[in-house]
């Protein structure tokens, strides 16, 4: 292999950092970093065959044969495209190479991945599951209340502060919440969610800073913050206790679907969830065409 390509790979650790710096989402940054680390490990094990469309195409085949899902493979391909383009922008590879890699197609998904949703009864049981005679139980109920009552992401719950909760137009709202893609939104919350937050805050004697805090096994506060992983583990605990198989993100989906079934408009659900695309919101709802009560039946038109 020629010296130029050897130099490129040596410098790719720097290029990886440049590629990751351009990402706004912490989740995407972690996923891309893992994808690029795996690619460079494979590239090195293959004897550094040289960056080209053919090399990346071969790597895609390896990923397919490993049994990874189309969405995972496509995410890794996106990371590689970004890496190579960043290398081209920094004069480490020719732009024609980057253009060739950019033309490596992703993997088509067969159908739409099914999500998990709670029924109204299951959601009610989830909210009632924590032991509210304990401080931890009050915290856990409040977190579940925000997940099911506002549809927030794990990272958003971990970063939620008392300053976010404000009264607007006669109701309680989470205002100026910075979500995925740095999009800012406001999310109305039901009175029962606010009540759960208040009961937890009163018992924990906290009024400022992050609303939710980590807790020691002894039942007392253990720090000023809580991690998204802590929210994940909390939901997993109650899900298992209730004989369910749902994750924190499934409660976000459940919020959307229960609101939709209750008559909320799709556009309003999209705004509350902070989705850039209505298509994403539809995926959360598992919307299917109703042929017995179709939109055309609601037009109110007729022939005379």
pLDDT in tens, 12-35: 677 777 778 767 667 777 888 888
* CATH tag, 120-285: 1.10.443.10
pLDDT, one tens digit per residue, over 249-280 is 999 999 999 998 888 888 888 889 988 888 78
Report the alpha-carbon distance of residue 135 to residue 200 in Å, rounded.
7
pLDDT at 2 over 50: no
What pLDDT is stored for residue 3 in this prediction?
38
What pLDDT is stored for residue 5 in this prediction?
40
Mean pLDDT confidence for 117-131: 94
Count Cβ atoms within 10 A of the Cβ of residue 48 and give its class: 0-12 exposed, 13-18 middle, 19 or more buried: middle
Domain 3-102 shares a fold with domain 120-285? no
pLDDT, one tens digit per residue, over 222-259 is 889 999 999 999 999 999 999 998 999 999 999 999 99
Q: Is-contact 250 118, C-beta < 8 A?
A: yes
pLDDT at 130 over 50: yes
Helices (H), the chain: 3-21, 26-45, 53-65, 70-89, 95-102, 120-128, 135-150, 154-159, 191-204, 228-241, 248-261, 266-273, 278-285
**Other Cβ atoms within 10 Å of 70 Cβ, number:** 15
Q: Show Cβ contacts of residue 288 under 8 Å, excluding neighbours closer than 6 positions.
A: none
More confident position, 9 or 165: 165
Closest residue by Cα to residue 259 from 190, 167, 156? 190
Q: Is-contact 165 8, C-beta < 8 A?
A: no
The whole-chain average pLDDT of the chain stands at 85
Q: Where are the domains of the chain?
A: 3-102, 120-285
Which CATH number is correct for 3-102, 3.40.50.10420, 3.20.20.370, 1.10.150.130, 3.30.200.20? 1.10.150.130
pLDDT at 112 over 80: no
pLDDT at 190 over 80: yes
What pLDDT is stored for residue 288 in this prediction?
56
Report the alpha-carbon distance of residue 274 to residue 71 in Å, rounded.
21
What pLDDT is stored for residue 293 in this prediction?
57
Q: Show Cβ contacts of residue 68 under 8 Å, excluding neighbours closer than 6 positions.
A: 76
Mean pLDDT confidence for 117-145: 95
Mean pLDDT confidence for 80-107: 86
How far lies 233's CA from each of 12, 31, 168, in Å?
35, 20, 33
Q: How confident is the model at residue 128 (pLDDT cuts 50, 70, 90)?
A: very high
pLDDT at 303 over 70: no
CA count, 13 A, side-chain hemisphere, 123: 23
Q: How confident is the model at residue 65 (pLDDT cuts 50, 70, 90)?
A: confident
């Amino acid at each position: 292999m020629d010296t130029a390509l050897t130099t490129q790979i040596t410098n790719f650790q720097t290029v990886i950092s440049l590629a990751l710096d351009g990402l706004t989402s912490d989740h995407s940054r972690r996923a891309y970093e893992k994808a690029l680390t795996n690619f460079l490990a494979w590239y090195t094990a293959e004897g550094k065959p040289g960056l080209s469309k053919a090399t990346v195409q071969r790597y895609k085949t390896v990923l397919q044969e490993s049994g990874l899902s189309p969405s995972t493979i496509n995410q890794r391909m996106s990371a590689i495209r970004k890496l190579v383009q960043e290398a081209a922008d920094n004069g480490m590879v020719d732009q024609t190479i980057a253009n060739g890699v950019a033309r490596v197609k992703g993997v088509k998904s067969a159908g739409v991945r099914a999500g998990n949703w709670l029924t109204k009864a299951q959601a009610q049981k989830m909210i009632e599951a924590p032991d509210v005679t304990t401080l931890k139980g009050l915290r856990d109920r409040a977190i579940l209340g925000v997940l099911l009552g506002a549809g927030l992401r794990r990272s958003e719950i971990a970063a939620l502060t008392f300053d976010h909760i404000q009264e607007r137009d006669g109701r309680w709202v989470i205002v100026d919440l910075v979500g995925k893609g740095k999009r800012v939104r406001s999310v109305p919350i039901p009175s029962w969610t606010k009540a759960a937050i208040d009961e937890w805050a009163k018992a924990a004697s906290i009024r400022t800073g992050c609303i939710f805090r980590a807790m020691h096994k002894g039942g007392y506060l253990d720090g000023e913050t809580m991690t998204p992983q802590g929210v994940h583990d909390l939901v997993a605990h109650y899900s298992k206790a209730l004989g369910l198989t749902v994750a924190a993100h499934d409660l976000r989906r459940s919020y959307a679907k229960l609101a939709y079934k209750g008559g909320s408009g799709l556009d309003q659900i999209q705004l509350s969830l902070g989705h850039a695309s209505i298509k994403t919101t539809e995926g959360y709802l598992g919307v299917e065409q109703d042929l017995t009560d179709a939109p055309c039946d609601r037009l109110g038109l007729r022939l005379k």
